[in-house]
Amino acid sequence: MLSRLGALLQQAVETREPSVDLLEAFTEHWKGITGYYLEATDESTPAKQTDIPWRLKQMLDILVYEEKQHPAGEAGPCLEYLLQHKVLETLSTLGKAEYPPGMRQQVLLFFSRVLGQVQHPLLHYLNVHRPVQKLLQLSGHPLGSGTEKEEAQFAAVLCAKIQQDPTLLAYILEGKSILNGRKAQEQPGTPPGEGAEHPPARRDGNLVTSLVGLCKSQASRVALKARENLLLLTGLPQEAAAACLVRSGALCQLLAEHLCHLHGAVPPCAHPDDVLAMGRASWRSPGDAGGAGDFAGKESLVAFFCWLDFLDELVAGAHPLVAGALGEAVEEKFFRGVLQPQLLQMSELAVLSATAVLSGTVRQLRAPPLLQRLVFFLLGPGGHPETPGDPPHPLRAHLIDRCDHLSDEISLASLRLFEELLRVPHEEVVLSLVLRNLQARGYLQRGPPVPDEHGAPEPDPEEEEEEEEDPYFTDGFPENGFGMGKKPQGGSSPLGKGHVSEVVSSFLCLVPEEAKTSSCLEEGGYDTYVHDALGMVQASRSRAASWGWPPAPRPLDGCPPEGQFYEGRFLKVLFDRLARILDQPYSLNLQVTSVLSLLAAFPHPHLHEYLLDPYLSLAPGCRSLFSVLVRVIGDLMQRIQRVPHFRAKLLLVRQQLLGLVPGEQMEHATLFKGVVVLEEFCKELAAIALVKGPPEGPP
């Protein structure tokens, strides 16, 4: 029987004659498949060991050959037979039953090949897209656990067809007609009215749910292909297709829920250092995301950050409707539903873990719709300058206050979080944390400057008349540096290369000679700092290039007068921390100075002025970065006098930090390490000031 049918098909192909022979062969193969279910006695025989795969292949070959013999767009007799006799409907039912074993795999392959190789627009027909929907609803079904590869191939073919004709998306997701909005197209020979049948919109199983399910596959190639097809669907430029995805596919909810699930799988014992050492993840190559070394929870963290990276890329390339809806879902379910409760916990271990994962999340995101929501979630709206009595944004205040927490570990993790935030290419971060308080330049003395016979950059109005001259504030500085020159009225000193060299000299000479040790041990010298500063400044300029910042400070006569200047909660915490640099752990000092250096590298003229100009005429009660450093140096000079052999011990500690000698404990070790960081920080600031040069235009 089989040989006779094969010979018949071969004869039809060779003679290219009557189509009735092709139709007869096509129907014979179909009857052979249906007859198997009437004649088979062994239900355990796998489908691969029957003649079903061969017959399906012959049916496909006939359809493809027949189409080539007819004008484009004209359905041949075999295709009409397939549509009229609901062949695909029957096959989808057989696939659902998974009988014989492995039948679902064969059905998926047949559907993929027919839809991919037959050029006639089949998905418009009810008797095609209905069984297509039925197969999609089976995706991920336990009975078909071994068909992920075929499911991915089937979904890929559908996505390719949708890319060619985006109006098909409504068919696949909702079963709606794309021709008249009311009924699906009637196939040839369909009795009148059949096309009016409407399968209900299935939200528990469709192309979107199938693709999202395949994204979770342990088979990397299956997951990769599914994610690529989701990118294709969400990037369709047609608004109708985007609206269909948002409305009918449950896409955004599914993607956000999986993010929450992966986050929940991260163990709370993950150490912040391990999390931040991972680097940015890539969903296309998850094996590279974790970096070197293993630690508890690494696999879960890699899975979480890779999915986050995928969502970030999806939002960046998606239609604005889809990007907005997904951003909203991520904010609702993940930011507010998961992160916020964890960040507000009192448990130190939970706070450390949540803060570290949040830092990694901030580092991972770059898509503007997601960044906007993340920044607003963390920092809230930030337009007007802060005042000490303002009702704070709860989460913002909480996170900033933790930078000065009783637990050094929490302080360190929180400072790292803000460093990651300041590296985000989003202007609102800098505006909310710092710039909104500097816009009116309220830190400057508006009237004639208070006489300062001792040359200290920060006069204290309460102590000015009572204090005697403090030799530690001017010792070791050049005659024309450290504020010794005449300060211009109403702000900063004159601009130009000479002024920049004086600024650099002021920072380099700030630490007294008794506390300097870097020149004794390092061969790179100051050039290393300049090289690092150049990279930092260039990165900051690149981030701020599109923000429209002015090249020069705002004229004072255009700044509305303010009351008492307030540097804001964030700078207050940083300055308070910096003031205690001689008494804090080494790692904490490094992080505080790292954040301040990052702020100083930003190209906004007010930020440049406030952090890098030692010659400011500060308003009464105000402090600047330089004035805080001056007071630290004053404290240091007094301590130097009280510690015998200070310089020798300092040099030994520096050698220990560099790993040149064993790291033995020593009295006053915290002080010595603080001095090392202080010297490094002053060099960094000098290098940043040198690289940035003077602001453009008049102050």
- Convert the pLDDT of each residue in 591-601 to its tens digit: 999 999 999 99
Q: Is the pLDDT of residue 69 over 70?
A: yes
Token digits of residue 156? 């890929």
495 confidence band (pLDDT: 50, 70, 90): very low
Distance CA 287, CA 227 (A): 16
Phi, psi of 447 (to 5 degrees): -90, -165
Tell me the pLDDT tens digit for each residue of 626-661: 999 999 999 999 999 999 999 999 999 888 888 888
Distance CA 575, CA 631 (A): 11
Token digits of residue 463? 């102590």
Closest by Cα among 282, 281, 284, 280 to 224 = 284
In this predicted structure, what is the pLDDT of residue 498?
Answer: 61
The total number of residues written for the chain in this structure: 699
In this predicted structure, what is the pLDDT of residue 192?
Answer: 36
Distance CA 612, CA 275 (A): 33
Token digits of residue 249? 């596919």
Match 């930011």 to its residue by tokens: 335
In this predicted structure, what is the pLDDT of residue 393?
Answer: 84
Q: Is the pLDDT of residue 564 over 50?
A: yes
Hey, is 82 helix, strand or coil? helix
Token digits of residue 595? 């954040």
Tell me the pLDDT tens digit for each residue of 411-437: 999 999 999 999 999 999 999 999 999
- Residue 352 makes CB contacts below 8 A (sequence gap 6+) with 271, 272, 409, 410, 413
Token digits of residue 476? 């070791």
Tell me the pLDDT tens digit for each residue of 456-485: 444 444 444 444 434 333 333 333 333 333
19 confidence band (pLDDT: 50, 70, 90): very low
In this predicted structure, what is the pLDDT of residue 387?
Answer: 86
Match 């008049």 to its residue by tokens: 698
455 confidence band (pLDDT: 50, 70, 90): very low
Distance CA 2, CA 611 (A): 88
As a whole-number percent, the residues of the chain with pLDDT over 70 amount to: 82
In this predicted structure, what is the pLDDT of residue 424?
Answer: 93
Q: Is the pLDDT of residue 335 over 60?
A: yes
Tell me the pLDDT tens digit for each residue of 165-214: 999 998 888 754 433 333 344 444 343 333 335 333 334 578 999 999 99
Closest by Cα among 678, 569, 621 to 458 = 621
In this predicted structure, what is the pLDDT of residue 467?
Answer: 41
In this predicted structure, what is the pLDDT of residue 381?
Answer: 81
pTM, rounded to two decimals:
0.83
In this predicted structure, what is the pLDDT of residue 158?
Answer: 96
Q: Average pLDDT over the chain, rounded to whole?
A: 83
Match 């102050």 to its residue by tokens: 699
In this predicted structure, what is the pLDDT of residue 12?
Answer: 41
What DSSP line would sit under 211-233, residue for residue?
HHHHHT-SSHHHHHHHHHHHHHH
What mean pLDDT do residues 278-289 have?
81
DSSP H helices, 491-568, are: 497-508, 518-521, 526-544
